[in-house]
């Protein structure tokens, strides 16, 4: 660089300055993109949290209702039995077990889906 003429040095400096300006513009664009991505991720995380709260609330409500149904079945089981009552109690108990299992499966599947989605969002592209 020291053996170059003044004209060559000026040209080299101009090229370096142009390259620096281009790099600055690229860095600025990348920073803006990162900020937008961060904002989108934050909004998405808030929505996921809201959904999780709603699903948890629905699960708790369903559990409460199943518990009340169990109490009703238990109180019915203490009444004098006849064939229809015993059959009805058995059907109610089977329904309660089926509902409880179904609710647990849905809750587990939903939480797995949320975890997979969160993991997908955490990974860089």
Q: Which of 71, 70, 73 is nearest to 86 (CA)?
A: 73
pLDDT lower than 70: segments of the chain: 1-4, 79-84, 124-125
Q: Which of 69, 116, 63 is nearest to 95 (CA)?
A: 69
User: N- to C-terminal Cα distance for the chain?
Assistant: 41
Question: What pLDDT was estimated at residue 125?
Answer: 59
Question: What pLDDT was estimated at residue 29?
Answer: 95
pLDDT tens figures, 45-55: 888 888 888 88
């Amino acid at each position: 660089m020291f053996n170059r003429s003044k004209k060559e040095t000026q040209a080299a400096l101009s090229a370096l300055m142009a390259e620096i300006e281009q790099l600055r513009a690229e860095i600025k664009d990348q920073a803006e993109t990162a900020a937008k991505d961060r904002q989108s991720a934050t909004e998405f995380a808030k929505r996921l949290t809201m959904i999780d709260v709603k699903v948890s609330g629905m699960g708790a409500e369903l559990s409460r209702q199943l518990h009340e149904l169990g109490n009703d079945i238990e109180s019915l089981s203490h009444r004098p039995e006849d064939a229809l009552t015993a059959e009805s109690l058995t059907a109610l108990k089977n329904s309660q077990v089926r509902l409880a299992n179904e609710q647990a499966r849905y809750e587990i599947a939903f939480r797995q889906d949320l975890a997979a989605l969160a993991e997908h969002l955490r990974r860089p592209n």
